[in-house]
Amino acid sequence: MKQFKTILLSAFSIIILFSCKEKQEQIPWANLITNNSLEGWSIKGGEAKYIVEDGVVIGTTAANTPNTFLTTNEMYSDFIFEIDFKVDSTMNSGIQIRSNSLPFYRDGLVHGYQMEIDPSKRAWSGGIYDEKRRKWLHTLENNPEAQKAFKQNEWNHYRVEAIGDTIKTWINSVPASYLIDDKTANGFFGLQVHSIGKNKDKLGKQVMWKNAKILTENLSQYTTESPLEPIITKNNLTVNEQKSGWQMLWDGKTTNGWRGAKLDVFPDKGWVIENGELIVLSSGGAESAAGGDIVTTQDYANFELLVDFKLTPGANSGIKYYVDTEINKGPGSSIGLEYQILDDDLHEDAKRGSHEGSRTVCSLYDLIQAVPEKPIKPIGEWNTAYIKSIDNHVEHWINDVKVLEYERGSEEFLKLVSESKYEKWPNFGLLDKGQILLQDHGDRVAFRNIKIKVPKAKKKKNGK
């Protein structure tokens, strides 16, 4: 009987094995490395060399050159991707997904999500890094099983599922990362040879990849469950932001830290919180439906501010800074320097202003026009505004690209103010500190990921 059970179990195992093999063979994978060539791929960034031998892409380090990437010519959004790789134990590398090289972004620098290849003692292979943007998004110090899965000086296997705002990774079949983030929805793949600078010991080191294959259709049939708890970046600080002193200015759930510009409390109408978004509703010009501007309950002097915003067609709003709601208690919006938020194509304000173009999106409202070539995303998509004001030097950015800068209090600034609608306000824009304001202009606009960084106070001489 025992012998019979053993035979039966063996037979069952063989059936399962052939069934799995048959299922695997039925998956309609498309190969990304074909014809034993680099056809369909291009080199970006540095000057490391890539060749193909027997279906294996080999990247070799070069001295005095930045990171080099062998990238697909085709762009991909949702996919399941698998690849084998082997890396020299002294090297660091990675595989880019949903990445881009755009002329307006740091002169074409490759940027985007990277599946880390890390043979060091840290062992974060399979973690998710945001190349040339936000740095680490998903580290592996709390995932020892994935850290142990990497095989030194051997072939390793990656699986990546990128569907919608969710990215999951596996290394040698062990779950590594589970990230929910919607920064970039589309881009190329890239195989990285890391820069080595002048390090002669790393000259000529190799990274190898093979069996790169992809699925782009009917993905729900082939997805894999991950037991990991997801890291969610929406209304949360990234790893690097936590380390560098950023704080959430809005918690994504409550009205804590904010109040009405004309009130001591948050407005009971005109604003709603839905799905982690702080939304000013359309009032259609009806004052009875408007909630009015909202401001922070704290004042800020030097700061860096990040705000995601999403416009509806024809909408107008703004982010004001150095606001003092006590100065203007009358009707209208509180006075302050304003990062303009506007649908330039549909709103007539884009064609008006004291200075040409100074009411277009990202501009310093009515004073300084943002550069016309802005990487603004279409209406209905999220854009990230960044305002930096340190020691009166102010910068406006949109989606990681600087679009204007100026000096508060300079002769040029004061001249612009004297020629604008703000001429009647004494010392406009010159407050030492003030509130941050989100404007209710009667149009539906959504905000999220509101974060601020306040630099540490400089130590005075003699420890005073």
Q: Say how far apart CA 120 and CA 239 lie, in whole Å.
A: 20
User: Per the confidence metrics, is the pTM higher than 0.85?
Assistant: yes
**What pLDDT is stored for residue 210 in this prediction?**
96
The pLDDT value recorded for residue 329 is 64
The pLDDT confidence band at residue 352, using thresholds 50, 70 and 90, is: confident
Cα–chain-centroid distance for residue 405?
22
pLDDT category, 79, cuts 50, 70, 90? very high
How does residue 440 score in pLDDT terms, banded at 50, 70 and 90? Answer: very high
Confidence of residue 14 (pLDDT cuts 50, 70, 90): very low
CA dist 333 and 350 (Å) reads 19
| Confidence band for 350, pLDDT divided at 50, 70 and 90 | confident
Asked whether 248 and 451 are in contact (CB, 8 A), the reply is: yes
The fraction of the chain above a pLDDT of 90, given in percent, is 78
Q: Return all residues near 22 (Cβ < 8 A) that are at least 6 apart.
A: none
| 8-state DSSP, 405 | E
User: What's the count of helices (H) and strands (E) in the chain, helices before strands?
Assistant: 4, 29
Q: What is the pLDDT of residue 461?
A: 58
271: left (phi over 0), alpha (psi -120 to 50) or beta: beta
Q: Is the pLDDT of residue 455 over 60?
A: yes
Q: Residue 340 and residue 347: Cα distance in Å, rounded? A: 12
pLDDT computed for residue 463 by the predictor: 54
pLDDT band at 333, cuts 50/70/90?
confident
Q: What is the mean pLDDT of residues 114-127?
A: 96
Residue 404, both tokens = 């204007």
Average pLDDT of the residues in 22-26: 59
Question: What local confidence, expressed as pLDDT, does residue 35 receive?
Answer: 87
Bridge partners of 248, per DSSP, are 451
pLDDT value for 70: 97
Cα(268)–Cα(138) distance, integer angstroms = 38
pLDDT tens per residue across span 256-291: 999 999 989 999 999 999 999 999 999 876 665 678
The answer on pLDDT for 331 being more than 70 is no
Of 114-123, 145-154, 326-335, 410-419, the poorest mean pLDDT is in: 326-335
Rg (CA), the chain: 27
Residue 163 has pLDDT above 80, yes or no: yes
Query: pLDDT class for 8, splitting at 50, 70, 90?
Result: very low
Cα gap 248→237, rounded to integer Å:
7
Whether residue 6 is predicted with pLDDT greater than 50 in this model: the reply is no
CATH 2.60.120.560 in the chain: give the residue spans.
26-232, 239-458
Inform me whether the pLDDT recorded for 456 exceeds 90.
no
Q: How far apart are CA 444 and CA 451, in angstroms?
A: 21
Task: For 61-172, list the strands marked E by DSSP.
Answer: 68-72, 79-87, 93-100, 111-117, 128-131, 135-138, 156-163, 166-171
The residue assigned the tokens 């051997």 is 154
Average pLDDT over residues 140-154: 96
Average pLDDT of 350-363? Answer: 90
In tens, the pLDDT along 402-419 reads: 999 999 999 999 999 999
pLDDT category of residue 15 using cuts at 50, 70 and 90: very low
On the question of pLDDT at 78 being above 90, the answer is yes
Contact assessment for residue 222 and residue 216, using Cβ atoms and an 8 Å cutoff: no
What is the per-residue pLDDT across 195-248, written as a single tens digit (0 to 9) for each?
A: 888 887 788 889 999 999 999 999 999 999 999 999 999 999 999 999 999 999
Q: 239-458 maps to which CATH number?
A: 2.60.120.560
The CATH number of the structural domain formed by 26-232 is 2.60.120.560
Question: Mean pLDDT of all residues in the chain?
Answer: 91
Per-residue model confidence (pLDDT) at position 327: 80
Q: What is the model's pLDDT at position 128?
A: 98
Structure confidence at residue 17 (pLDDT): 39
